[in-house]
Amino acid sequence: YTLLKDLTLYEFYKLLDNELVKEYGSDVRCDYCKNQIASDQTNGKELIDLCKKCCNIILSVHDILDKCKASDDKKKCQYMSHWLYDKVVSITQGTNLFINFYAVLSMYSGIKKENFKNCTLTNFNVDKEIFNKKHILYEFLES
């Protein structure tokens, strides 16, 4: 397990986790998360919070994908997609909330297209159990 921590994938996950807990000034552009994700749904507030934090990462952390040591931009985008979906399914099982969540983040990544390497974060649209199996296999293949 310690050996895995030094892999490019895990280094990038750790960097993203560190960015996620940082406090950013409230960017009014990130308020769109609240408007588009139903806060009265089960775990809606947590999903809105994650959306706002990801919005801040996309809009405020310049060249976030370049901080990943993977060789190509597509791979960097895949890494971030897996990291994010893991966060989303840990908050809620309701895949119906995922659609709006990913639509909002897609808009933000479109705004920062040049910095975000044309990355579209993937909504895997599967439940937590299926995703975890896919995610383990993906991490195994990447190591």
Is the pLDDT score of 97 beyond 70? yes
What is the predicted pLDDT for the residue at 78?
Answer: 93
% pLDDT > 70, the chain: 92
- Rounded Cα–Cα distance for residues 130 and 126 (Å): 6
What is the predicted pLDDT for the residue at 39?
Answer: 77
Per residue in 30-44, pLDDT tens? 999 988 887 777 788
Is the pLDDT score of 88 beyond 50? yes
**Closest Cα to residue 81, out of 92, 62, 66, 65?**
65
Q: Per this entry, what is the length of the chain?
A: 143
The pLDDT of 12-25, averaged and rounded, is 87
What is the predicted pLDDT for the residue at 5?
Answer: 47
Is the pLDDT score of 58 beyond 70? yes
% pLDDT > 90, the chain: 44
The pLDDT of 106-121, averaged and rounded, is 87
What is the predicted pLDDT for the residue at 46?
Answer: 92
How would residue 6 be classed by pLDDT, with cut points 50, 70 and 90? very low
Instruction: Provide the mean pLDDT of the chain.
Output: 86
CA–CA–CA angle 99, 35, 109 (5° rounding): 55
How would residue 26 be classed by pLDDT, with cut points 50, 70 and 90? confident
Please give, one letter per residue, the 3-state secondary structure of the chain: CHHHHCCHHHHHHHHHHHHHHCCCCCCHHHHHHHHHCCCCCCCHHHHHHHHHHHHHHHHHCCCHHHHCCCCCHHHHHHHHHHHHHHHHHHHCCCHHHHHHHHHHHHHHHHHCCCCCCCCCCCCCCCCHHHHHHHHHHHHHHHC
**Contact criterion met (CB below 8 Å) for 38 and 91:** no
